[in-house]
Amino acid sequence: MKKFWVLFSLFLLPLVFYIFLSKGIYKYSNLPILTENVIDLKNISRATTATFSEKLTIVCFLGSDINIAKASLFNLNQTIYKRYYSKPFFQMVAILPQGLENEYSETINELSAFTDISKWHFIYASPQNINLLFNSFETPFKLNENLYSENAYIVDMELRLRGRKDDEDTKGGKLYGYNMKSVSTLKNKMKDDIDIIYYQLKKSAEKQQRRKRKI
């Protein structure tokens, strides 16, 4: 019996660990593309210099009800933004209805009092253009009458909507967006999925480095 455990610890345990690790890496290295060709931010607002291109963007549609918007904004800021704002390529984009600049200014000032908001972009657009952007995500959802969505969305550097195809809590398995009202969803799903994209970026950079060394 003693010999069995010695053999197990020397040979079988490392093998089991390797199999577990390799499966974990395979899952970790792939976050599905759900939609191609999301339209860029310059197509909905001439005033903004922000772009999805070459950025990893978290997008939210906050709408005209400031009370609902504020709760979602602060949840997203505390749970996601503060964790990733110092990472390369990262940015947050809030889409807001045109004409509400003064109404939102107090909330944005309140946010900036305890957060470096340099990676936040607040973009004001017409209802038509807000719907144009949202519809380009090709989700099964619609914005409500206030142009609000309870979900935040991940758009990658190539203007593609990323998410899940095997989410256990979603009908059909496809997770297009992450509920901003749920801190557990942001922590346990969105955070993990952002980490996957950064893992992919790291592996891609390592491959490029190896190619350069060979040249």
Residue 28 in domain: no
Q: From its phi and psi, is residue 99 left (phi > 0), alpha (psi between -120 and 50) or beta? A: left
* Structure-derived torsion over alpha carbons of residues 74, 133, 194, 121, reported in degrees to the nearest 10: -50
Here the CATH number for the domain that contains residue 48 is 3.40.30.10
What's the pLDDT at 38? Answer: 98
What's the pLDDT at 5? Answer: 52
Write out pLDDT tens, residues 145-171. 999 999 999 999 999 999 999 999 998
What range defines the domain where residue 106 resides?
33-214
Residue 22 in domain: no
Residue 170 in domain: yes
What's the pLDDT at 23? Answer: 42
Quickly count: other Cβ atoms within 10 Å of residue 35's Cβ: 17
Average pLDDT, whole number, for the chain? 88
What's the pLDDT at 208? Answer: 73
Residue 9 in domain: no
Q: Are 141 and 175 in contact (CB under 8 A)?
A: no
Q: What is the 3-state secondary structure (H, E, C) of 56-70?
A: EEEEEEECCCHHHHH
Residue 5 in domain: no
What's the pLDDT at 66? Answer: 94
Strands 90-97 and 56-62, bridge-based pairing: parallel
How many domains would you assign to the chain?
1
Q: Write phi, then psi, for 125 (nearest 5 degrees).
A: -145, 165
Write out pLDDT tens, residues 20-71. 433 444 344 589 999 999 999 999 999 999 999 999 999 999 999 999 999 9
Residue 8 in domain: no
* Structure-derived torsion over alpha carbons of residues 176, 177, 179, 184, reported in degrees to the nearest 10: 80
* Structure-derived torsion over alpha carbons of residues 78, 81, 83, 85, reported in degrees to the nearest 10: -150
What's the pLDDT at 11? Answer: 55
Quickly count: other Cβ atoms within 10 Å of residue 169's Cβ: 10
Residue 106 in domain: yes
DSSP string, 113-182: TTS-GGGEEEEEE-HHHHHHHHHHT--S----TTSEEEEEEEE-TTS-EE-BSS-TTSTTS-B--EETT-
